[in-house]
């Protein structure tokens, strides 16, 4: 992502934007806080979108799927580390559900029909993935993938994996809150700002009151 040359990014590579339905399987969680780990390509945009969702308390960019030794930005880019660029979301289940987070992920953040790539970024480190942290999240994830896959919202089959949780490793400080801190970055303008704009357009009721510009 950081090494992507914006001028070479064809518009046809942009992720699809689809207004998806609410999850049919989405049980209530009786807790003040819950955590989700999701991957959807470059973590700058994933974090930037979810940071603006009502009910989200915090979002942290990081790596999931590999070892501690390779959980570094410069070591994930050959695609052999096992890591996906991912985010860890802490949210208030009384305001936003796990199913709603998945709905937003596949509506405006990541194209669930792409394997090991999103937008201009290619390789397994940019895969979209759902990483359930308990049996309930796994149930919601499996059901929602089947729901949107059977609803003909996408022209191609859904290929997003539901991965077993290993360990989430926070990314380096310069990658945290990247979209908000670098709104004029070329990559952000071309690939990530449109995702945030799509969130506001498709799901205005899901956007927190003080949203990033």
Query: What digits encode the pLDDT tens for the residues 43-97?
Result: 999 999 999 999 999 999 999 999 999 999 999 988 999 999 999 999 999 999 9
User: How many Cβ atoms are within 10 Å of 22's Cβ, its own excluded?
Assistant: 11
pLDDT of residue 111: 96
- What confidence category does residue 1 fall into, taking pLDDT thresholds of 50, 70 and 90? low
The domain tally of the chain equals: 1
Domain of residue 156 covers 6-203
| pLDDT average, residue stretch 133-149 | 98
pLDDT of residue 209: 85
16 domain residue, yes or no: yes
- What confidence category does residue 9 fall into, taking pLDDT thresholds of 50, 70 and 90? very low
Question: Do 87 and 59 meet the contact criterion of CB atoms below 8 Å apart?
Answer: yes
pLDDT beyond 80 at 16: no
211 domain residue, yes or no: no
> Which residue is catalytic, options 23, 37, 38, 42?
42
pLDDT beyond 50 at 2: no
| pLDDT average, residue stretch 29-56 | 97
| pLDDT average, residue stretch 183-191 | 96
- What confidence category does residue 20 fall into, taking pLDDT thresholds of 50, 70 and 90? very high
212 domain residue, yes or no: no
pLDDT of residue 15: 60
Question: Across all residues in the chain, what is the average pLDDT?
Answer: 92
- What confidence category does residue 39 fall into, taking pLDDT thresholds of 50, 70 and 90? very high
105 domain residue, yes or no: yes
| pLDDT average, residue stretch 14-30 | 90
127 domain residue, yes or no: yes
Identify whether 9 is a catalytic site residue. no
Q: What is the CATH number of the domain that holds 199?
A: 3.30.1060.10
């Amino acid at each position: 992502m950081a090494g992507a040359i914006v001028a070479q990014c064809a518009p046809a590579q942009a992720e699809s934007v689809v207004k998806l339905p609410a999850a049919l399987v989405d049980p209530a969680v009786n807790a003040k806080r819950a955590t989700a780990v999701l991957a959807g390509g470059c973590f700058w945009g994933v974090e930037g979108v979810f940071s603006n969702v009502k009910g989200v308390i915090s979002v942290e960019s990081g790596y999931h799927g590999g070892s501690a030794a390779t959980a570094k930005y410069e070591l994930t880019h050959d695609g052999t580390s096992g890591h996906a660029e991912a985010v860890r979301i802490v949210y208030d289940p009384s305001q936003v559900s796990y199913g709603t987070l998945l709905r937003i992920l596949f509506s405006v953040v990541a194209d669930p029909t792409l394997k090991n790539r999103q937008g201009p970024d290619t390789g397994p480190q940019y895969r979209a993935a759902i990483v359930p942290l308990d049996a309930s999240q796994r149930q919601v994830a499996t059901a929602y993938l089947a729901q949107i896959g059977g609803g003909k919202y996408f022209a191609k089959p859904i290929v997003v994996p539901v991965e077993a949780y290993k360990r989430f490793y926070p990314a380096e400080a310069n990658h945290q809150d990247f979209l908000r801190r670098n709104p004029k970055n070329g990559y952000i303008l071309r690939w990530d700002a449109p995702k945030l704009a799509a969130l506001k357009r498709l799901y205005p009721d899901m956007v927190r009151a003080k949203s990033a510009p």
